[in-house]
């Protein structure tokens, strides 16, 4: 009898995702802006950091849990916000929220979700809501709804004043509702498992906006084309801080000056992010900038996390946690909630194994002593004096 081989890594889940999804949709998940150099750099940045294990330490009992902004979570990771999860798997938002809850980590629901934020709130667990400001009235309304539905944190994404130039999507004519050409029909026919679930469940809509007022169609189209309110500025952020009663995170910052300003305005944390290489190509990788900004306040990072050891490196270099994008989406695309849970359990197991091999019994005890000094670290972080020689 033939047995199926269980996925051993995120890369195995990626292969399954590629098999199940039509090319147009796999490209939407996988692709990024222009030459996709930032995507490659995000992943490469982790491989440039080398680990420096301690030996002869008792690592017979290990813990991966950490404190994140006052909440105990099972490992330093968050299932990050991604739009159109329902196009990847029916009720993909609920599937991701459920997988995150089971794993004991937060889930961030995107403004561009395919299920209403109120419906996903019913899953429970530590839920965050990610806000895109398409226009201000709509944003205020979403903030209100997220507060009423009990979301514990608001994540304001600030790196999409306009959409990045995603050439795979342009070439594929990717849009919702899907546009059918001879090529997309052939694409759908050659991926029958995905097509059958679409036919059974219908084309996903941007449910948060569909549930709203008369601006629906206009706002949905604007969001799909990522036509944001490009005039949103620091004063607006200060107003949003006053409006939102719970924890506020600003996602998509990377400049140290901006990060300091977010904290001055009262943000509880920032997520250093280049949006998974989907916005500004050649934007700096989050890991690279981390050592320069970690002293400014609680910092999370994302982009290119595919291994438990990547998460260990980020935390050792000062990140409170990482956000996962594609890693969990590959699992979702492969087999829904079970696949997303599999992605998380692979990462949990890899974190635990890396801690053991590193001689560190707890993720909460990771620090720079586990990292070999490399060219990536600024001079001060390598223990060098920033004074000229002789002073």
Using CB under 6 A, which of 222, 249, 253, 305 touches ligand FMN? 305
223-226: long-range contacts at Cβ-Cβ below 8 A with a sequence spacing of 24 or more? Answer: 223/111, 223/112, 223/132, 223/134, 224/112, 224/175, 224/176, 225/163, 226/160, 226/162, 226/163
Residue (132 or 370) nearer to ligand FMN, CB: 132
Beta strand ranges found along the chain (DSSP E): 66-68, 71-73, 77-79, 107-109, 127-131, 153-157, 247-253, 269-272, 299-302, 322-324
Distance CA 272, CA 218 (A): 31
Residue (29 or 311) nearer to ligand FMN, CB: 29
* Catalytic-labelled residue, pool 54, 135, 275, 295: 275
Using CB under 6 A, which of 92, 125, 164, 276 touches ligand FMN? 276
- β-partners of residue 127 are 107
Contact flag: residue 251 with ligand FMN (CB under 6 A): yes
Which residue in the shown chain puts its C-beta closest to ligand FMN? 325
3-state class (DSSP) for residue 323: strand
**Local structure of residue 5 (DSSP, 8 states):** P
Using CB under 6 A, which of 145, 226, 326, 342 touches ligand FMN? 326
Distance CA 23, CA 206 (A): 22
Radius of gyration of the chain, Cα coordinates, nearest whole angstrom: 21
* Contact range with ligand FMN by CB under 6 A, out of 89-97, 198-206, 296-304, 365-373: 296-304
Q: Give the shortest CB-234-to-ligand FMN separation in angstroms.
A: 19
3-state class (DSSP) for residue 342: helix
Contact flag: residue 157 with ligand FMN (CB under 6 A): yes
Contact flag: residue 273 with ligand FMN (CB under 6 A): yes
Contact flag: residue 332 with ligand FMN (CB under 6 A): no
Query: Does residue 275 have an active-site annotation?
Result: yes
Q: Give the shortest CB-356-to-ligand FMN separation in angstroms.
A: 25
Residue 321 CA from chain centroid, whole number: 11
Number of H helices, E strands in the chain: 17, 10
Contact flag: residue 303 with ligand FMN (CB under 6 A): yes
Residues from 63 through 92 that contact ligand FMN (CB under 6 A)? 80-83
* Contact range with ligand FMN by CB under 6 A, out of 135-143, 164-172, 273-281, 351-359: 273-281
* Contact range with ligand FMN by CB under 6 A, out of 53-61, 187-195, 208-216, 325-333: 325-333
Using CB under 6 A, which of 93, 187, 281, 302 touches ligand FMN? 302
216's CB contacts (< 8 A; 6+ apart) are: 209, 210
Q: β-strand 299-302 against 66-68: which pairing, if any?
A: unpaired
Q: Give the shortest CB-74-to-ligand FMN separation in angstroms.
A: 19
Q: List the alpha helices (DSSP H) in 299-325.
A: 308-316
Q: Burial code of 267-281, b = ≥16 C-beta within 10 A, e = fewer?
A: bbbbbbbbbbbbbbb
Residues from 175 through 234 that contact ligand FMN (CB under 6 A)? none
Residues from 108 through 137 that contact ligand FMN (CB under 6 A)? 110, 112, 130
**Local structure of residue 106 (DSSP, 8 states):** -
- The token pair at 290 is 């981390």
Residue (7 or 81) nearer to ligand FMN, CB: 81
Using CB under 6 A, which of 76, 92, 164, 325 touches ligand FMN? 325
Contact flag: residue 29 with ligand FMN (CB under 6 A): yes
Contact flag: residue 341 with ligand FMN (CB under 6 A): no
Pattern of binders to ligand FMN over 351-390, x per CB under 6 A? ----------------------------------------
Distance CA 147, CA 244 (A): 7
> Which stretches of the chain bind ligand FMN, using CB under 6 A?
28-29, 42, 80-83, 110, 112, 130, 157, 251, 273, 275-276, 278, 302-305, 323-327, 329
Residues carrying an active site annotation = 275
């Amino acid at each position: 009898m033939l047995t199926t081989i269980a996925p051993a890594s995120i890369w195995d889940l990626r292969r399954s995702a590629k098999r199940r999804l039509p090319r147009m949709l796999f490209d939407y998940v996988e692709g990024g802006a222009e030459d996709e150099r930032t995507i490659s750099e995000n992943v490469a940045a982790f491989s440039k950091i080398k680990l420096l294990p301690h030996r002869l330490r008792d690592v017979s009992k290990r813990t991966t849990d950490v404190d994140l902004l006052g909440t105990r979570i099972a490992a330093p990771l968050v299932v990050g916000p991604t739009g159109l999860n329902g196009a990847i798997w029916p009720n993909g938002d609920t599937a991701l929220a459920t997988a995150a809850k089971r794993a004991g980590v937060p889930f961030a629901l995107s403004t561009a979700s395919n299920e209403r934020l109120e419906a996903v709130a019913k899953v429970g667990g530590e839920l965050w809501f990610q806000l895109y400001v398409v226009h201000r009235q709509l944003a205020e309304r979403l903030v209100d709804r997220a507060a009423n539905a009990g979301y514990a944190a608001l994540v304001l994404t600030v790196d999409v004043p306009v959409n990045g130039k995603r050439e795979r999507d342009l070439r594929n004519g990717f849009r919702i509702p899907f546009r059918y050409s001879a090529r997309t029909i052939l694409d759908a026919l050659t991926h029958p498992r995905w097509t059958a679930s679409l036919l059974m469940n219908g084309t996903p809509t941007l449910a948060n906006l569909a549930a709203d007022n008369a601006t629906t169609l206009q706002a949905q189209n604007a969001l799909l084309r990522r036509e944001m309110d490009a005039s949103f500025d620091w004063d607006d952020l200060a107003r949003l801080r006053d409006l939102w009663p719970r924890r506020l995170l600003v996602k998509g910052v990377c400049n140290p000056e901006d990060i300091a300003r977010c904290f001055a305005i009262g943000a509880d944390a920032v997520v250093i992010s280049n949006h998974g290489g989907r916005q500004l190509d050649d934007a700096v990788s989050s890991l690279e900038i981390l050592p320069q900004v970690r002293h400014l306040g609680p910092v999370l990072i994302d982009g290119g996390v595919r291994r438990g050891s990547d998460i260990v490196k980020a935390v050792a270099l000062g990140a409170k946690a990482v956000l996962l994008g594609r890693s969990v989406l590959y699992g979702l695309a492969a087999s829904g909630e079970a696949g997303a849970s599999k992605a998380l359990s692979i990462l949990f197991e890899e974190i635990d194994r890396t801690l053991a091999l590193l001689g560190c019994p707890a993720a909460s005890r990771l620090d720079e002593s586990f990292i070999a000094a490399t060219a990536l670290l600024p001079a001060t972080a390598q223990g060098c004096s920033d004074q000229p020689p002789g002073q």
